[in-house]
Amino acid sequence: MFASGVDHERLTSQLRFILETDKLKRILRRNMLVDGSRRENDAEHSWHLALTARVFAEYAPEGTDIDRVVEMLVLHDIVEIDAGDTFVYDAQDSVSQPERERSAADRIYSLLPEDQAAHARALWDEFEERTTPEARFAKAIDRLAPMLANWHTEGGTWVRYGITAAQVREKVKTIAEGSEALGAYALALTEDAARRGYLR
């Protein structure tokens, strides 16, 4: 089955990881698609974030490595295969989120060959810690995407779960940390959503 000259053990590990991450397609998020037809899954979310980062690259801080941002965005939600999607406004579920996601990262990234596992885990840790411009910009994109979906679905999960304008403004701070321009846009979107009655 394997071509000659290929490290069978390495390729087997890579295949195991790829097949495991296919499960991301079945993890449903709270957000609806922009057309409101159904809930988004994590694989769709990750792909759309990676594309968004590419398109919005000009709004990243100068010198930001967009390739690194894209790689972070493709990898960061893989932990939800084990940990599940945590709704950003669910205070109770958010308490256990870091522990659940760290355990998932330990298991899932370790399926890769050692060098790739270390690289993937380092990127995931970087995203979580938000200590680099790349991580902050990646997190800004991750926070902005559901806001866009909620606005375009006349409030979406904001309406369904009774989210307040103050709660959303708090999340906008994370967007502004990663991109001044996107933070300003997100704040304007929040104020418009409040005027339209999408937010309490």
- What pLDDT shows up at residue 176? 98
What pLDDT digit, counting tens, does each position of 61-75 carry? 999 999 999 999 999
Task: Determine contact, residues 82/100, Cβ cutoff 8 Å.
Answer: yes
- What pLDDT shows up at residue 5? 83
Cα dihedral 84→89→50→191 (10° resolution): 160
First-residue to last-residue Cα distance in the chain: 59
- What pLDDT shows up at residue 4? 75
How much of the chain exceeds pLDDT 90, in percent? 94
Mean pLDDT of 136-156: 97
- Identify the CATH assignment for 28-195 out of 3.40.50.720, 3.40.50.300, 3.90.1640.30, 1.10.3210.10: 1.10.3210.10
- What pLDDT shows up at residue 2? 63
- What pLDDT shows up at residue 51? 98
* Distance in angstroms (rounded) separating the CA atoms of residues 190 and 27: 27
* Banded pLDDT at 1 (limits 50, 70, 90): low
Mean pLDDT of 21-25: 98
* Banded pLDDT at 93 (limits 50, 70, 90): confident
Look at residue 147 and tell me whether its pLDDT is greater than 90.
yes
What pLDDT digit, counting tens, does each position of 162-199 carry? 999 999 999 999 999 999 999 999 999 999 999 999 99
User: What predicted TM-score, i.e. pTM, was given to this entire model?
Assistant: 0.95
In sequence order, what are the residues at sequence separation of 6 or more whose Cβ sits closer than 8 angstroms to the Cβ of residue 89?
Answer: 157, 161, 163, 167
Beta bridge partners of 32: 39
